[in-house]
Structure 1
Amino acid sequence: MNKKTLVLGASLKPNRYSHYAVQRLVANNVETVAYGLKKGEISGIEIDTELLTYENIHTVTLYLNSKRQKEYYNYIVSLNPKRIIFNPGTENPEFYKILKKHNINYEEACTLVLLSTNQY
């Protein structure tokens, strides 16, 4: 499975779902990149604090609430991912409309559940 994934909103705090998602993606051999507010490392993955132009992103999994997502709309669309996963608490009908215009698939799902049920 090589669905290169950007975890947007990655946290160094081990009790955060975004932290656990990075760990589970790595454990499932998914090529992973991460963006967060604080530089650090999770399971060997460096958390970037600058918005980089990542190549070949298949999936962006969001761990930012809808208000915090607005500043990332253009960035996410510019990556041209195949899908966006809106984890619980990140649902955003306004962003769904933008994604539809750009033919980017999205789903309201939980990355951790998708991974644990082999549906990722």
Structure 2
Amino acid sequence: MRKIFCLLAVCVITLLISCADYDEGLDLVNFDVKLEFPSTYDGAYEGLRVELQDAVASTFVDSTDVQGVAHFSVPSGLYKVSSSARKETEDYRYFFNGAKSQVVVTVDSPRVVTLPLVMSKKRIVN
């Protein structure tokens, strides 16, 4: 009986020690992507889609605010940042594209990355 009690006590202590060291949550990093628009664009910066994709193809998506900045909270890692969006005005349809690979996101890395965009526009004929 004493051997069973000692074995049970060792199992319980081992279980408690292993649970105490386990960190259940992920550490998230607040990270911003600022879109850099061509100087010929004079429209609104709000509502453009921005994507972050990590090495295992997990994709995080946000839209830009009025300053052209998308805000993310993501785990540390190596990301591809991209934006492919369309904006319409009364006279023109604008297409924006940009991508940047190998962006390091950690607690120690810069919290803002600038993504230059290439723009094309098409006149809307009414």
More strand by share: 2
Larger Rg: 2
Q: Which bin holds the TM-score, normalised by the shorter protein? A: under 0.3
Provide the TM-score with structure 1 as the length reference. Answer: 0.22
